[in-house]
Amino acid sequence: MLAKFLSPYVSALHGAAWNLQQNFEGLGLSSSSYLERSSAGQIVSSYWSPGEATLIYLGLLLLIWMILAALLLLCGYVLAGKPGAAGMLFVELIPGISNMAGAWPNIGFAPDEYVIDGTGVLGTGHGMAPLILIGVVSGWCLSVLAIDYARGRWRIGDRFWSAFDHVWYAAGLLAGIFFVADSQVALHTQELQNTSRQAQQSSAYLLKQVSAFDKWCRANHLSTRVSCLWATDVQQTLLDYSTSDARVFAPFGPVTSQDIYVGREMRTKVTDIDQIRREIASYNMELCPAKRINANISVSSHPSAQCQTTPAAFRTSVPEPLDGKVDKSGYFDTTALASEDIIPSLVTSRSQVEKQLSTSEQDRRSRHLRWAYYLLFSVVAGAKTSNATDKLFKLTKREDHEMRRGPHAARRFWDVVCAVVRFCFRSLAFALRVAAALLRKPIARKPRQIQHTDTVD
């Protein structure tokens, strides 16, 4: 029965603990990774356990919850005396009583999934709701008690709340700035997705053309050509690029064109790059001959299954010079293998993805800072709510003998606690004295009676 009564409170705080762990791990302030060491101090294994990492936050939240429960009772007494404290106690018991009666809804505060090292992942809304409630109640309780305590000394009134409004309005305006920043974050994310998708599509497009070139080499018995060797080896690299996410493409993508022409597992060398490009140009001229009218104008061959104009989205960079010249005249020419256009564009795309990924990483980290701000804002909102409570119960207009109810009640409660503690210690001391006296007192023993039996011979 006790477990059923406490279930709504513990489940809500457990979801809040998951939310704290997710955001603190995203900020790098906490970790769900653990190391196991031997008796000699050496690392023997490691494991991830987010559930274990949330236990410390759950314990902290349980302590905060008990303190807030006591503060709510104290605030109820400040507002309306003993009936107010009884009313607050009833409000605090509603979730537990409702759950015992089967009327409390089954709310899933814990997340369905947890992202390890999830920068930018804020958890679930259900997990954040208890944190917001804790912030609002904390701000409200502290403000009500502060009004009750300070009213008897400094006469808090409208001037104080007018000054507090400056903080309230500034906090609201700052929340509006965060709203605009979120729209900028969405724009950065979209740009990163577009650049990454463009790199994937251009890699897939070039892979298709390289595969056709490789078949052409085998069909014409030219597999020993350096360009044909390159076509055989580069297909795995292009396949990796076409399926790589931005986080993979940025560190492992091509820094220069040399990374594509001369890969780690390729049989070509740096000195073969120019020869590869010349042979590819010859291949294009053979399959897709272009009629050159003058130095600036050319008429390309008719588009076909082999000869196509490279999409403009795949030509984001100027071709690199070959034999000291940069060919800019064939922008709309059809080609069978558009390596001259796509390879420099892939190099540029990787550089753009790296920069955009860094910006996106900062944006994701800023989400946790805005999450922390909203928690602080909930405390301010609770303090602002106490202004309405002040006007409703006329705290600042009470007589002097009605002020500072909180300190008096806290003092009486402290006296009761001290009396209970003294009683417990005295009872324990009395029990120890009685036990010691019983141990020192000798135990009287009855003499053992020996019965003699006469035997008759």
What's the pLDDT tens digit per position in 176-221? 787 777 778 888 889 999 999 999 999 999 999 999 999 999 999 9
Beta strand pairing call for 308-309 and 334-335: antiparallel
* pLDDT for 457: 41
Question: 293 phi and psi, to 5 degrees?
Answer: -85, -50
The encoded tokens of residue 6 equal 């406490």
The whole-angstrom separation of Cα 187 and Cα 194 is 11
Q: Residue 456's pLDDT is what? A: 47
Torsion angle in degrees (nearest 10) through CA of 395, 397, 399, 404: 30
Residue 330 has a pLDDT of: 58
Residue 399: predicted pLDDT: 67
Which residue spans within 282-378 are E strands per DSSP? 291-292, 298-299, 308-309, 334-335
Query: What's the pLDDT score for residue 170?
Result: 86
Long-range contacts of 232-239 (CB under 8 A, 24+ apart): 233/263, 233/265, 233/266, 233/267, 233/268, 234/210, 234/260, 234/261, 234/263, 234/266, 235/207, 235/210, 235/211, 236/265, 237/263, 238/203, 238/204, 238/206, 238/207, 238/210, 239/203, 239/207
How would you label 154-182 residue by residue, b for 16+ Cβ within 10 Å and e otherwise?
A: eebeeebbeebeeebeeeeeeeeebeeee
Query: What secondary structure letter does DSSP report for 312?
Result: G
Contact 212, 308 (CB under 8 A): no
Amino acid at 412: R
Q: What is the DSSP string of 393-435?
A: HTGGGS-GGGS-HHHHHHHHHHHHHHHHHHHHHHHHHHHHHHH
What tokens does 142 get?
């502290």
Contact 92, 68 (CB under 8 A): no
Torsion from C-alpha of 313, 318, 320, 321, nearest 10 degrees: 140
Q: Which stretches in the chain have pLDDT values below 70? A: 151-158, 264, 292-298, 324, 326-331, 398-406, 441-457
Q: Which residues pair with 37 in a beta bridge?
A: 43
Do 203 and 314 contact (CB within 8 A), yes or no? no
Distance CA 185, CA 370 (A): 12
User: For 155, left (φ over 0), alpha (ψ -120 to 50), or beta?
Assistant: left
